[in-house]
Amino acid sequence: MNLSGVRMAVAVAVASGMLSCGEAEPASDVPADVLSAEVQAQDVSVLEPTTFRVMTFNVGTTDNMQHELDEEAGSGDGYTDAHAAENSSKYSNNLAWNPAETALSQFIADKRPDIVGFQELYYDPWCESVDVTEGLDFVCDQYDPTGPLQIQRLLGDAYQIACAGDHPDNCVGVRKEFGSIPACSSDLCIDGLEGMPVPSGCTSSKRIGWVEVVAHSGMSLIFVDCHTVSGLTEANMACRREHMQQIFEDQGDGIPAAHGDINVVVGDMNTDPFLFAGGDPSAAYWNQWVGEGKKFTYISSSDASGPATHATTMHLDHVIATGLTGSCFVAGESAGEPPVKETSYFDHRPVVCDVEIAQ
Domains of the chain, by residue range, sit at: 7-357
d(CA 37, CA 195): 19
d(CA 86, CA 169): 18
Span 12-69, pLDDT tens digits = 344 444 344 444 333 333 333 433 344 444 565 555 657 999 999 999 999 888 787 6
Percent of the chain with pLDDT over 90: 79
The pLDDT-based confidence of 74 (bands split at 50, 70, 90) is confident
Nearest partner of 265 among 244, 240, 293, judged by Cα: 244
Q: Determine the pLDDT at residue 263.
A: 98
The answer to whether 124 and 147 have CB atoms below 8 angstroms apart is yes
Say what the pTM is: 0.88
Q: Determine the pLDDT at residue 266.
A: 98
The pLDDT-based confidence of 177 (bands split at 50, 70, 90) is very high
Span 224-260, pLDDT tens digits = 999 999 999 999 999 999 999 999 999 999 999 999 9
Residue 6 has pLDDT above 80, yes or no: no
Q: Determine the pLDDT at residue 328.
A: 98
Q: What is the assigned CATH class of domain 7-357?
A: alpha beta
Q: Determine the pLDDT at residue 64.
A: 86
The answer to whether 119 and 59 have CB atoms below 8 angstroms apart is yes
Q: What is the mean pLDDT of residues 150-161?
A: 98
